[in-house]
A = this chain, B = another copy of it.
Amino acid sequence: MSIRLTEEKVFKDPVHRYIHVQDKLLWDLIGTSEFQRLRRVRQLGTTSFTFHGAEHSRFNHSLGVYEIMRRLITNFSDKPMWNDEDRLLALSAALLHDIGHGPFSHSFEKVFDTDHEEWTRLIILGDTEVNDVLRHVHADFPKEVAAVIEKTSANKLVTSMISSQIDADRMDYLLRDAYYTGVSYGQFDLERILRVMRPMGDQVVVKASGMHAVEDYIMSRYQMYWQVYFHPVTRSSEVILSKILKRVKVLHEEGYPFKQPPHHFESIFSNAMTIEDYLQLDESVMHYYFQCWQKEEDPILEDLCHRFLNRRLFAYVECHPNERLTDIMALQELFWEAGMDPDYYLEMDSSSDLPYDVYRPGEEQRVPIQLLMKNGQLKELSSESDVVESISGKKRTDHKLYYPADTIATLDPTIRLKIESILEQM
């Protein structure tokens, strides 16, 4: 069933040195237009506004996840429960797990209420090149791959290798995002962690001797979230992006006469988006529209697009929405007065992360990390590690209020001082 390439193909990779492809199936998947499209979707969306180095694509990351999975499987290859189809299933799922990501996923999904995981399923199961390649294994193979990515597969072992608290996806993105941003936080000893991982029944467990390496990985994740992923400058650019998409939607509904009509968005406005439509919406296309819309008559759309393309971002203050409700409402009034629609120019944004959590009945399932003790017992990580225990289950939330400080600075002093005085007290 599995056809080996006559000669192994390699990709030079700055994170894993080389990425090795040995199966025709994987090589063909990489060559599909749906996978190549990931070159035009950035891994970290607007993060490069904050960390200019982070311009890498989801294509780049997807190859990395595949490579970590390949190494993990190589370590497991002498385990009896493992067969060649499991191997192909794990590798394909690793490579394709992000195939449904659209442009600037976070903002896009929020505004249009779509879900990249649903698109992943549709692309794998639909009339696509990816589906065609996967069917060469056998007719049900696409379904099996989709089930692994969706976490509904009966093969819980493979599922946990790609979606758990210590999976190929997370391990690659921490290392890769740290490499491209240039921060040191995301570093951990991948090789050591791969060496201490063991398949055991339905899950991958970690030998207790590797506990400190796993602690280090959990701390890397914690640091990357607060230092990189939730950086307020990045969030500011996402606020603007969301506002652009929202404005376009509103204008479209109102029958606004666009100079450059949002052709690529029409099917999503009417809830009739096909796979083909979706696949065409990459970040280049979005940038094209933003550039054109800088010349629209609508001052809000024009201003927001100008801000996004030229990095004229919103400023922010820390502020808890519940405690500051009166102030926020006062600001909204003042914004209206000053001619700035607060629906577009004043935004409360909250980020929160749960760096590590143990499964609790009734909650969304998160597979906890199990340590394999010398005596053969399993113990959940946070019960053994003080450091992990200290952050386990603690949801940290960070609230910020975003506003256009540059525009406010140009307002008439009467109103400007009122606005600034409220902001300063926050």
Contacts and interface: CB of A to CB of B under 8 A. Distances in A.
A287 B12 CA distance: 25
A180 interface: yes
A400 to B, nearest CB: 14
B291 A284 contact: yes
Given A55-B56, A216-B223, A287-B40, A187 B189 contact: no
Contact of A17 (B39, B182, B282): B182
A14 B181 contact: yes
A188 interface: yes
Interface stretch (A109-117, A362-370, A382-390): A382-390
A216 B53 contact: no
A191 interface: yes
A8 B225 CA distance: 25
A183 interface: yes
Interface in A118-133: none
A36 interface: yes
Contacts of A60: 52-53, 55
A183 B386 contact: no
Given A13-B52, A14-B181, 19 more contacts: A12-B53, A14-B53, A17-B182, A18-B195, A31-B310, A32-B310, A33-B309, A33-B310, A36-B310, A37-B309, A39-B55, A48-B57, A55-B56, A55-B60, A184-B187, A215-B223, A285-B291, A387-B387, A387-B391
